[in-house]
Structure 1
Amino acid sequence: MPRRKNKKQIFESIEVIDAGAKGKAVAKAPDGRVIFISNAVPGDLVDVQTFKKRKAYFEGKAIKFHTLSEKRTEPKCEHFGVCGGCKWQHLDYKHQLEFKEKEVVNNLKRIGHLELPEVTPILGSNKQYFYRNKMEFSFSDSRWLTQEEIASDTTLKDRNALGFHIPGMWDKILDINKCWLQEDPSNAIRNEVKKFAVENELEFFNTRQQTGFLRTMMIRTASTGQIMVVIQFYREEKEKRELLLDHIAKTFPEITSLQYVINEKGNDTIYDQEVICYTGTDHIFEEMEGLKFKINAKSFYQTNSDQAYELYKITRDFANLNKDELVYDLYTGTGTIAQFVSKQSKHVVGVEAVPDAITAAKENAQLNGIENVDFHVGDMKTVFNDRFISEHGKPDVVITDPPRDGMHKDVVAQLLAISPERIVYVSCNSATQARDIALMKDVYQITKSQAVDMFPQTHHVENVVLLEKIK
């Protein structure tokens, strides 16, 4: 099938009126169709050049700014506009929160056709920068070049990069000088690793040709002050590998876990790879209200530790447990929420599809001396059945925190069948949250809803909803 050709159009003096899906700004074309704009904020007056045309909308880019919005602020990051990580840095934080909350409310009302009580205001993050506890960087021998670099010299020799993928370009890496997402020594470690690798002629990876030595680097920083660094090599070269790892360990003695992976696969995921501890321990610890959570290289943990604590407190508050109730924690991950609410519960049953996550959940529960939790592995839509309920008991309260796709319809059907008194639905995608709740609205009503900003400078937002049975 031939590709659909998109004839470019220019619309002049268009007012940007809203923020929409995936953080794009929203305007209206003269014919009434919506225009999604990638580089503007609500309140701007712009000329727009479109690059995609569909029946109901255009996609475009602002090519001239007549008036800048009062909602704007100056981005801190020198890489803003090229790096796709913090697309809302040019939008003042209080307005970021307004549009995130608006999106959640609109999704619940328009997609779910749900009635909402007075919504609790969105909980903003005290840290708007340097809030992430995990960052992953890629090595490349063919870094992204600016138009100025291309125009000035076509024989550039400095093509090595250690940074992030350019949005939509899987083989192009933006070399990062300073990232505003993770606290030091993250930037210092990344820059020193790149500098040392260049000086010692360690080959950076080439994604297209699948050649090179250095592939990726992950840095995890915990609220306890511990630091983990994992270097992924494409092939084993013991002398070169030890040269780099020894330099990292010597230069940054504060690193408590230095590990590496040899990965010769076509992709750089490490979940099916052996992670080898070089110095220190093979894990670090996160801590929350005296609970310790052991984090290894493959562990999932909320990437904003401070806001994860706030999210879990809201979840626990919504659940309103009385110590005599059986709680199910669906999509429990490594069991953080299950353990966080265990003191207020009679018993907690956690279910998760990823075996490694359940192993970690059991280890953490033992580490924390928690005996009133059980964790089980299985695909939620098949394991969460009548037999499972018969074996573990009918829950009084269900907490569910599914992935972005939401809950499978069979899981929703089972929730309706067992009909717990309360359901606390935690979601990173309020659109699928609204869809799922709509399937339950004849039995349950929303009595509380609160958004939580886990990811400042982005359009992403979490939302917590309390569902109670209609009397």
Structure 2
Amino acid sequence: MKQRRNKILENIKLLSAGAKGVSVGRTEDGKTVLVSGAVPGDLVNVRVKKSKSNYFEGEAADILEYSEYRVEPKCIHFGTCGGCKWQNIAYEKQLDFKHNEVVNNIKRIGGFQDFEAIPILGAPESYFYRNKMEFSFSNARWLTKYEISSEENFGNKDALGFHIPGMWSKILDLKECWLQEDPSNEIRLAVKNYAVENGLEFYDVKEQEGFLRTLMLRQNSKGEWMVLFQFYKEMTEERIRLFDFLLSRFPQITTLVFTINAKANDSIYDLDIQTYSGEGFIYEEMDGLQFKIGPKSFFQTNYKQALELYRKTLEFADLKGDEVVYDLYTGTGTIAQYVARKAKQVIGIESVQEAINAAIEHAALNGLANTTFYCGDMKNVFNDAFLANHPKADVLITDPPRDGMHPKVVEQILKLAPERIVYVSCNSATQARDIALMKDDYKLVKILPVDMFPQTYHVENIALLIRK
């Protein structure tokens, strides 16, 4: 049977950015077209991948006219690497697209029209903003189309870098990365070169064998670095020589830790971490608060924007000093501790026990005796009995995962009836859905999008609701 060719839509002008970074255009008869592989402002021919009654999904087959918003990507790996997908769009336009997406979600999904949309808070640095990066070793690096089609023997196929999207066994061998400041690139390249020169085995993802498995680089705002290696097996002499080489080459490394991982996955949370050099952790300071960061710790990866996010959250909460604050999905208690100095009492709830342990440790470290933390599934812990046995909240802060809040959690918030709700979200679509469930009792006063991840389509949003 002859295979049907994909339909081509011709001369589609891409007008805006849509969810997950696609560009949005329309056909002559008004049907929406969602296009990957192009940017807003391009004029394209679209190869249709999916056709529905009210929209098409496809990819750019030809770019007929290039958008005025385009810029030259800085990274040589752009288009192959799965990150930084908006690196070919001017940063000012990235901010516009993100702001508009948030506002449109609040209006279209939430059904709100009368609210203040504060201009998006852009990042002071659109490159080299991450404080944590994770890289994988592989003995089967990703080959370019040129390499595959040629008959040349390219020799060593060892790689240290990122997984190719959709191809977990293939690793892009990074020559450079614009996400984390140096010595991140220097450390990664030094590790790779040392391993190749000394014949160390790179991990074989398919066969699950080898020595070097993953490398994590983590830094704080003071320029102190933590390095974590995952090895598939122990090779003591080779490991020690590698570690001593790195420590002699990079004095910025204040702690070096490692683990042996023979599991099928790379998760470290159920593994024993061993310290070779230093304390096994680093500290981060945020407006006078200290946070202990270990290899398993969750901490916002964009330090400067996280600090602004917390400052704005505190500003939206408008605390006077005598309030009881609930912090739902508290994580390691970062926001809870940040607002605790301005509140009478803070009650945090989180589902991950390790995060709660860290929150308790941080509260003790910072001398905050007015914080209490509880662990459990939010919809089960935050119930009628919990409300009956705890003081009424004056202010509630919630920062759920991308899926948003369970309807039962929203129901309990309405029972609790705090005067102010500050909703921090990494997904304005589910945020809009959730606050729509509260519109009979609460007025949406204002929102503030915050760009935590430049060169990507991701955006955070803070919303303030006041009880009617």
Work out whether 1:434 is the aligned partner of 2:432. Answer: yes
Q: Indicate the larger mover: 8-17 or 405-414.
A: 8-17
Specify the alignment match of 2:166 in structure 1: 168
Cα offset, 1:405, TM superposition: 0.6
Match of 2:296 in 1: 298
**Long gaps (5+) in structure 2:** none
Task: Please tell me the root mean square deviation across aligned C-alpha atoms, in Å.
Answer: 1.4
Deviation at 1:448, TM superposition (A): 1.4
Q: What's the counterpart of residue 318 of structure 1?
A: 316
Matches within 5 A, 1:219-368: 219-368=217-366
- Distance (whole Å) between structure 2 residues aligned to residue 418 and residue 118 of structure 1: 25
| Residue among 447, 452, 456 paired with 2:454 | 456
1:195 CA drift (Å): 0.5
Write out per-residue CA displacement over residues 202-261 of structure 1, whole angstroms, 9 at most, x where no aligned residue. 111121221211111111111122111101111112122222222212211210111111
CA shift for structure 1 position 38: 1.9
User: 1:67-110 CA distances to partner (integer Å, 9 max, x unpaired)?
Assistant: 11111111111111111100001111111011101111111111
Output the CA distance in 2 between the equivalents of 1:456 and 1:469.
34
Aligned-partner Cα distance in 1 for 2:99–2:67: 20
Change (3 A) 1:43 1:297: same
In 2, distance between residues paired with 1:74 and 1:132? 21
Which amino acid letter does the alignment assign opposite residue 198 of structure 2?
N
Distance 2:241 2:23 in 1: 48
Higher mean C-alpha displacement, 398-407 vs 220-229:
220-229
Task: For residue 348 of structure 1, report the CA deviation from its aligned partner.
Answer: 0.6
Q: Which residue of 1 aligns with 2:196?
A: 198
Once residues 6 and 405 of structure 1 are traced to their aligned partners in structure 2, the CA distance between those partners, rounded to angstroms, is 37
User: Does the CA contact (< 8 Å) of 1:6 and 1:52 recur in 2?
Assistant: no
Specify the code of the residue in structure 1 equivalent to 2:230: Q
The structural deviation recorded for 1:362 is: 1.1
Q: 2:187 aligns with which of 186, 189, 193?
A: 189
Which sections of structure 1, spanning at least 5 residues, go unmatched?
Answer: none
CA displacement 1:104-140 (0-9 Å, x = unmatched): 1111111111234121111000100000011111111
- Counterparts of 1:333 and 1:100 in 2: how far apart (Å)? 25
Are the aligned partners of 1:45 and 1:68 in contact in 2 as well (CA < 8 Å)? yes
Distance 1:6 1:29, change over 3 A: farther
5 Å-filtered alignment, 1:150-161, equals 150-153=148-151, 155-161=153-159
- Look up the match of 1:50: 48
AA partner of residue 178 (structure 1): E
Q: Distance in 2 between matches of 1:110 and 1:154?
A: 54
Q: Of the candidates 175, 191, 210, which is equivalent to residue 212 of structure 1?
A: 210
Measured in 2, the distance between the counterparts of 1:54 and 1:79 equals 34
Distance 1:281 1:253 in 2: 15
Q: d(CA) in 2 for partners of 1:161 and 1:57?
A: 40
The farther-off stretch of 214-223 and 30-39 is: 30-39
Shift of the 196–70 alpha-carbon distance from structure 1 to 2, 3 Å rule, reads same
For these two proteins, the number of residue pairs brought into alignment is: 466
Aligned counterpart, 1:402 = 400
- How far did residue 55 of structure 1 move? 4.3
Comparing 56-65 and 75-84, the one that deviates more: 56-65
**Which residue of 1 is the match for residue 140 of structure 2?**
142
- How many angstroms apart in 2 are the aligned matches of 1:339 and 1:119? 27
| Pairwise CA distance, 1:21 | 1.2
The alpha-carbon deviation at position 31 of structure 1 amounts to: 5.6
Instruction: Tell me the distance in 2 between the aligned counterparts of 1:121 and 1:376.
Output: 35
Pairing of 1:102-113 with structure 2 (within 5 A): 102-113=100-111
The equivalent residue for 1:73 is 71
Q: What is the CA–CA distance in structure 2 between the aligned matches of 1:239 and 1:58, rounded to whole Å?
A: 58
CA–CA separation in structure 1 for the residues paired with 2:110 and 2:201: 52
Q: What is the CA-CA distance between 1:54 and the residue it aligns to?
A: 4.1
Q: Match for residue 131 of structure 1?
A: 129
Q: In the TM superposition, what is the alpha-carbon distance from 1:389 to its structure 2 partner?
A: 2.1
How many Å separate the matches in 2 of 1:423 and 1:254? 42
2:29, 2:161 → 1: CA distance?
42
Q: Give the 3-state SS of the residue equivalent to 1:392 in structure 2.
A: coil
**Aligned: 1:28 with 2:10:** no
Q: Using the alignment, how far apart are the partners of 1:259 and 1:416 within structure 2?
A: 46
Name the aligned partner's letter for residue 361 of structure 2. Answer: E
Aligned partners of 1:245 and 1:38: how far apart in 2?
Answer: 43
Which one is further off, 230-239 or 456-465? 230-239
- C-alpha distance in 2 between matches for 1:364 and 1:136: 25
Contact 1:318 1:448 in 2 (8 A): no
Instruction: Please state how far the C-alpha of 1:64 moved relative to its aligned partner.
Output: 2.5
TM-score by structure 1 length? 0.96
- CA deviation vs aligned residue, 1:339-382 (integer Å, no higher than 9, x gap): 11111100111111111111111111111111111111111111
Of the three residues 456, 464, 468, the one matched with 2:466 is 468
1:382 pairs, out of 380, 383, 401, with 380
Give the C-alpha shift of residue 62 in structure 1.
2.1
**Aligned equivalents of 2:114, 2:250: Cα separation in 1:** 51
Q: d(CA) in 1 for partners of 2:5 and 2:213?
A: 39
Contact 1:83–1:164 (Cα < 8 Å) also in 2: yes
Please say if residues 358 and 376 of structure 1, whose CA atoms lie closer than 8 Å, have aligned partners that are also in contact. Answer: yes
> 1:293-335: CA deviations, max 9, x gaps?
1011111111100000100111000000110110011111111
The residue identity in structure 2 corresponding to 1:135 is M
Q: In the alignment, which of 438, 444, 447 is matched to residue 445 of structure 2?
A: 447
| 2:313 counterpart letter in structure 1 | T
Q: Is residue 8–residue 52 contact of structure 1 (8 Å, CA) maintained in 2?
A: no
Secondary structure class of the residue paired with 1:122: coil
Greater CA deviation, 170-179 or 180-189? 170-179
Cα gap change, 1:55 to 1:247, in 2 (>3 Å): farther
1:379-415 CA distance string (max 9 Å, x none):
1111111222233211111000000011111111100
Give the counterpart of 1:100 among 98, 107, 114.
Answer: 98
